Structure 1
């Protein structure tokens, strides 16, 4: 990415809410999180949201839950469409997983649309395994099937 701004992964702050909302809508145009949900996630889990900052805007984010009985969930990973395939998702996941290990997490789960082969491959390459039984039909409502995956650390 020569000639472009330097990308930096950092913890999200209150000032990042608007750009995260925009980024989420770009990354998931069919079903973005509502503003109030992202607002609450940022307020409730401030130490578990990381962003990719290019110096002018945010181009990626990851959101996880704090540990509960040494278990955490990745709730969302979004990369601006024009920068996908350049390793930013892997870098964000590596960063959040390292952070979660430091918080005493032993297992991390996530859900992914079963047909999102790129995301499934990324998660598999990081050590996530699909839950037995395959995709769960209607996990997020009618027609919203999800594959649940878990990483044991």
Structure 2
């Protein structure tokens, strides 16, 4: 087998060019959720969480109650690529992260961290003292993210709660003390 001379290849530039460059996606915008986002939030939640996704009516109610701490990642083309939702107690001292998700194609780019950092800053500014969340015990990536943000397993038993969401649906409960000057 002989190689084709470079001069002949230059006569056919399509052979030198690699595949067409993949268009880079538009930068994502982190913003508060809007009522008009609800159908897209449902699609996103079903895509990421599948059989344990929130039903549409519950997403609606969560938005109505906790909109100030319901943040989304908007791709600018009509699709949401992630969200975080924090629910604050009536006394406004404690909060729970009820949902954090990023689409599979956008993971491992720091977007979950960006969502969490922003919602934690908003919670801290609102005077929240502690934040809790639950995570599937086998979800090592999420646990590492939460630990890197300062969350620790809530005792007893390292935060492990058997059948937390029903039979076979164990969760690990983690907590972050925000308090004054924390975080």
Structure 1 position 144 matched with structure 2 position 166: no
Following TM superposition, by how much is the alpha carbon of 1:50 offset from its aligned partner in structure 2, in angstroms?
0.2
Two-structure CA RMSD over aligned residues (Å): 1.4
Q: Which runs of 4+ in 1 moved over 3 A?
A: none
Is the aligned partner of 1:116 residue 2:139? Answer: yes
CA deviations 1:35-56 (Å, max 9, x no partner) are 1110110111111100001101
Contact 1:67 1:100 in 2 (8 A): no
Query: Which residue number corresponds to residue 76 of structure 1?
Result: 99
Q: How many Å separate the matches in 2 of 1:142 and 1:150? A: 23
Q: Does 2:43 align with 1:22?
A: yes
Match 1:10 to one of 28, 31, 34: 31
Instruction: Give 1 or 2 for the bigger CA radius of gyration.
Output: 2
Name the TM-score, length of structure 2 as normaliser: 0.80
CA–CA separation in structure 1 for the residues paired with 2:60 and 2:153 = 30
CA distance in 2, matches of 1:9, 1:101: 18
Give the conservation status (yes or no) of the 8 Å contact 1:67–1:103.
no
Question: After superposition, what is the alpha-carbon deviation per residue over 1:69-124, rounded to whole angstroms, capped at 9, x for unaligned?
Answer: 41100000011111111110000000000000011001000000000000000000
Residue segments in structure 2 that go unaligned for 5+ positions in a row: 1-21, 179-183
